[in-house]
Amino acid sequence: MATPLTDQEKRKQISIRGIVGVENVAELKKGFNRHLHFTLVKDRNIATTRDYYFALAHTVRDHLVGRWIRTQQFYYEADPKRVYYLSLEFYMGRALQNTMINLGLQNACDEAIYQLGLDMEELEEVEEDAGLGNGGLGRLAACFLDSMATLGLAAYGYGIRYEYGIFNQKIRDGWQVEEADDWLRHGNPWEKARPEYMLPVHFYGHVEETRDGPKWVNTQVVLAMPYDTPIPGYMNNTVNTMRLWSARAPNDFNLKDFNVGDYIQAVLDRNLAENISRVLYPNDNFFEGKELRLKQEYFVVAATLQDIIRRYKTTKKGVPGRTCFESFPDKVSLRDKVIRFVPPLQAWDLTRRTFAYTNHTILPEALERWPVELLEKLLPRHLQIIYQINQAHLDKIAALFPKDMDKLRRMSLIEEDGCKRVNMAHLCIVGSHAVNGVAEIHSNIIKTKIFKDFSDLEPGKFQNKTNGITPRRWLLLCNPGLAELIAEVIGEDYVKDLSQLKKLNDFVDDVAFIRDVSKVKQDNKLKFAQYLEKEYRVKINPSSMFDVHVKRIHEYKRQLLNCLHIIAMYNRIRKNPSAPFVPRTVIIGGKAAPGYHMAKMIIKLITSVADVVNTDPVVGNKLKVIFLENYRVSLAEKVIPATDLSQQISTAGTEASGTGNMKFMLNGALTIGTMDGANVEMAEEAGEENLFIFGMRVEDVAEMDKKGYDAMLYYKKIPELKEVMDQIASGFFSPKNPELFKDLTNMLFKHDRFKVFADFEDYLKSQEKVNNLFQNPVEWTKMVIKNIAATGKFSSDRTIAEYATEVWGVKPTDLKIPPPNEPREAIEETVKALKKM
């Protein structure tokens, strides 16, 4: 059972977590009981924990609704330029605690739930994660929505309401097994269906030439039904909207054209249309050219553009609706992960002025290249328009570079070698007024390597926007102890201006602050250790170093390098059990794409190594290895605050940015990492001496690619590496099936694109430096404080402010929208104030 807050704790927490007023608490209790009775139709005798969660969620939602309506009224009156963020993924996680924090209701709700004799944490654990994303890209979209609302931008997220999100991962006998994520099974209290805004989306058919030009005819229609989710800004009364589309078959589906005699079959076939929004594709950084995926992409874009145009045409009463599209780019900024839709050629200029494109990966297997044959079948008119755009584009290139056929081939939107394909990244670049990467190093690689021809042609079009994370979820929500401690020493304004964390540099040598930071970490570790014991029935040593590597399982992220280090540590203990050893709990977690054989083998290797290490009596408490099952947003919120060492060890030049790296840094972990993605900027901000940087740089990797990478060279040269590889290859970790890891060892020796062995030696040396510092807790914590003080740059508020001013042409504002209890006239006053700014 939760314990009540002391008066001192309440005073301490007033600013960040909201005020506990008697009226507040009484009102929340009243709302809770009303919803339990009228919404859930239960009384306290038969209500379950889930009922209590729903009653609380509806009560908190009540506090959102007035502000949500107010925000839309305000946008209608002020008619600002709107920002539309299109993404196939929004990895939102849970909504309850985030909503309470952003509305300043957390303390009052805690108190109300305590007075009702319930346990807040237990209720929060009932909520399903909204797992509508694979990893970094989907979670970034969620952080961006939070920041756009907090910065007062008139922004909308548009995506798909997948019935099944990212699969639930079970580990059975050491292997990953996937289970469907039926996240809507119990209903979703945070969404509101909007059938009145349902829109048609067309597929298939063919193009007929008519006197009025080409006409797309005989199409199949699918309806897009919108579901709206509120996105509250932090303490500013702004509540924006995320609109997710669900596919519905029209009522005459399959009845008017064929199957006339088989009414039952026609109704059953409605599923075919509705499958479009059935399931999220579980691939991260991998393009799978499936027809259903292309349907999903076109479905979200076609529905969204119709919706945007409807909103653009709808103006204030008494003002004629907009019919001229010339001002469209002045009122609309479309920020699309991967832009798919191309309007007719005469609208091309408008399109370019409206759209901006963010690239998220340079891995060639992740960039989309759709077969022309598939586009011709699914979207025949669009393919014609793509050909027209390509022709105009190539004419321009040919005029600038006559006779350079190679450049024409490289820059074409259509790839001709083998199967004809449309290069979607090229289409995005040509169809946008701005293109950006997501960290300095990534943006440079885009400009100088993968899109060099385009960058040379229009250098001003290419920018960098380093990713960020929202400090609301990734500090206030997941690490209240640290958030409060920081507020005590520098005030609470940092929550909306993370750059203020640099003030913590004044406390690096403060004995009391060092002690408090260390205690917060220890408390978080104890709490996580208890969670692991309860959920996984493993006992771990809370005073050991928590060494954490959580992210999608992928060869480029090099979980294998970590695994080789674990085996090397194990061998050292076995060789000399009495030698001093810094105790470690190595925690690795993440999902593998279901069709990615090598990633699944990596999980099996980790779990097999864990089985050997964790049951060897010689090892005892010195080393434990845990594979964290079903890593997801709500689990990240538990493990990140408890972490000592964060592993960010991708091969230099492969991770576009990474955002987990920033979350760990903000929560007081130290980083062992390569000079890749945002690690480079983290080292710049904190000083390279305050991270454990190792391994090849981008230039070294390029040099090695030229010379050729020879894995056998390292195997022969490094005795510890040879020993580890021999163990894996001989079946030491798979005695029942010695050949089990043959594919893995084969890959590491013969075709390892990510050069694991090349960084092995330096990685081990760097890990020794980690051990040495961990033995000096005061010096370790000083370095932690320096890292936290340097995370200001990595707030998604900073990222969004840069997008707003440098790409979208909108201005962040700290104006507060009048709350619902103020009269409607207050909106007009705020609109006037906004126009003066």
Backbone angles phi, psi at 439, to 5 degrees: -165, 155
Distances (CA, A) of 117 to 27, 41, 52, 57, 120: 16, 20, 11, 17, 10
**Is 552 one of the catalytic residues?**
yes
- DSSP output for 624-690: EEEEETT--HHHHHHHGGG-SEEEE-PPTT--S--SHHHHHHHTT-EEEE-S-TTHHHHHHHH-GGG
Kindly name the residue from 161, 248, 472, 557 that is annotated as catalytic. Answer: 557
**Is 659 one of the catalytic residues?**
yes
**Beta-carbon count within 10 A of 259 CB:** 15
Residue with tokens 């991967």: 338
C-beta of residue 226 within 8 angstroms of C-beta of residue 141:
no
Angle among Cα 10, 11, 12 to the nearest 5 degrees reads 90
Kindly name the residue from 238, 351, 659, 813 that is annotated as catalytic. Answer: 659
**Is 557 one of the catalytic residues?**
yes
Kindly name the residue from 58, 61, 551, 786 that is annotated as catalytic. Answer: 551
Kindly name the residue from 17, 58, 421, 663 that is annotated as catalytic. Answer: 663
Angle between helices 49-78 and 825-836 (to 10 degrees): 60
Using left for φ > 0, alpha for ψ between -120 and 50, and beta otherwise, residue 547 falls in beta
DSSP 507: G
First to last CA, the chain: 50
C-beta of residue 385 within 8 angstroms of C-beta of residue 345:
yes
Q: Write out the two tokens for 285.
A: 């950084």
Kindly name the residue from 549, 552, 565, 591 that is annotated as catalytic. Answer: 552
DSSP 793: G
Q: What share of the chain is helix, strand, coil (3-state, %, to 5)?
A: 50, 15, 35
Strands (E) in 718-816, as ranges, are none
Distances (CA, A) of 369 to 43, 373, 375, 413, 567: 56, 12, 11, 10, 40
Q: How many CA atoms lie within 13 A of 397 on its CB side?
A: 24
Backbone angles phi, psi at 243, to 5 degrees: -110, 115
Q: What's the CA dihedral at 23, 29, 30, 35 to 10 degrees?
A: 150
Q: Write out the two tokens for 413.
A: 């939107």
> Helix (H, G, I), strand (E, B), or coil: what is residue 718?
coil
* Catalytic center residues: 360, 551-552, 557, 659, 663
